[in-house]
């Protein structure tokens, strides 16, 4: 399964489930545009139990790996080095192999979020709201630590999750206040709202979008648009999608794995859009 190709370099995305991943589409589009004809990018269904064995079998042709759930934390003990960004949220989504076979872990989700917002003109906000409290919410907090000058309010379903978000805030240097999910409609008046919840969770909020919404960053991309994003856009608010995040974090992965200074953002986004349209 993990055998090396005859020539060229290899990369892949690992996770479970993995069949839905757009990463192969994005990375292969980048390789084509960059002229890396002998590079390949695959996907492998790998869970936490299978991860050490898979990693141990990889040979010198491997350039890097993308990691999705549930492997972002499980990979850490198998690495030689972890970037400060990845360590800040205890989550690695990118592994780059050195010439000597060393394994360095990084997190491109966090700078990917910042880049996706910057592309829409969001350089700094005075406050923000987060819907949800899972792994993506901690990455959102880390991104906000770079651009938010004031308070972040997290809307969560349990006190246990609330405590986790406050702990992440302390760790990341972000002022976090938590509120009950039942009051989530109050989040929608924030200068920046980041929705990190599973599909369908925020649908009910679409009926209470304010008349002049600011910016919504909804990390979902399939199906798209979500009910919340559609109403937000209809009311004239700015919307950043999960595809924007996926493309920006993949750009950073391609640059790290290939050593190229500039991955083709536009080409990768178009490939992702076409793949989603065909589903």
pLDDT in tens, 18-27: 999 999 999 9
| pLDDT value of position 135 | 87
The answer to whether residue 232 scores a pLDDT higher than 70 is: yes
The answer to whether residue 4 scores a pLDDT higher than 70 is: no
The answer to whether residue 269 scores a pLDDT higher than 60 is: yes
User: What mean pLDDT value characterizes the chain?
Assistant: 95
- What is the mean predicted confidence (pLDDT) over 60-77? 97
When pLDDT is cut at 50, 70 and 90, the band that residue 1 belongs to is very low
The CATH code belonging to domain 110-240 is 3.40.50.720
- Token representation of residue 64: 């890097």
| pLDDT value of position 3 | 39
What residue spans in the chain does CATH classification 3.40.50.720 cover? Answer: 110-240
| pLDDT value of position 134 | 87
Taking only the tens place, the pLDDT of each residue in 127-159 is 999 999 988 999 999 999 999 999 999 999 999
Fold assignment, 9-106+246-278: Rossmann fold (3.40.50)
Active site (catalytic) residues: 72
What residue spans in the chain does CATH classification 3.40.50.10860 cover? Answer: 9-106+246-278
The answer to whether residue 5 scores a pLDDT higher than 80 is: no
| pLDDT value of position 279 | 85
The answer to whether residue 57 scores a pLDDT higher than 90 is: yes
Give residues with Cβ within 8 angstroms of 18, minimum separation 6: 43, 44, 45, 46, 68
When pLDDT is cut at 50, 70 and 90, the band that residue 7 belongs to is low
When pLDDT is cut at 50, 70 and 90, the band that residue 6 belongs to is very low
Flag whether the pTM goes above 0.85: yes
Comparing 135 with 168, the larger pLDDT belongs to 168
């Amino acid at each position: 399964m993990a055998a090396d190709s005859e020539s060229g370099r290899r990369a892949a995305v690992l996770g479970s489930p993995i069949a839905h991943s757009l990463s192969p589409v994005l990375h292969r589009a980048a390789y084509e545009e960059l002229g890396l004809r002998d590079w390949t990018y695959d996907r492998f269904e790998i869970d936490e139990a299978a991860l050490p064995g898979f990693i141990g079998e990889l040979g010198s042709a491997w350039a890097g790996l993308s990691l999705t759930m549930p492997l972002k934390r499980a990979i850490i003990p198998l690495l030689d080095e972890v970037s400060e960004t990845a360590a800040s949220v205890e989550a690695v989504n990118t592994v780059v192999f050195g010439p000597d076979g060393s394994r360095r872990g990084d997190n491109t989700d966090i700078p990917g979020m910042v880049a996706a917002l910057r592309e829409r003109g969001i350089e700094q906000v005075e406050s923000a709201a987060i819907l949800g409290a899972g792994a993506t919410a901690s990455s959102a907090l880390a991104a906000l630590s770079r651009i938010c000058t004031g308070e972040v309010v997290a809307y969560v379903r349990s006190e246990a999750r609330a405590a986790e978000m406050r702990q992440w805030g302390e760790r990341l240097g972000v002022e976090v206040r938590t509120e009950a999910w039942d009051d989530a409609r109050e989040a929608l008046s924030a200068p920046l709202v980041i929705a990190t919840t599973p599909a369908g969770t925020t649908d009910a909020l679409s009926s209470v979008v304010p008349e002049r919404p600011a910016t919504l960053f909804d990390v979902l991309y399939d199906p798209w648009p979500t009910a919340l994003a559609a109403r937000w856009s209809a009311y004239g608010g700015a919307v950043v999608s999960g595809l924007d995040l996926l493309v920006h974090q993949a750009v950073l992965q391609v640059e790290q794995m290939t050593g190229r200074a500039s991955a083709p953002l536009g080409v990768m986004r178009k490939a992702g859009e076409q793949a989603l349209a065909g589903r």
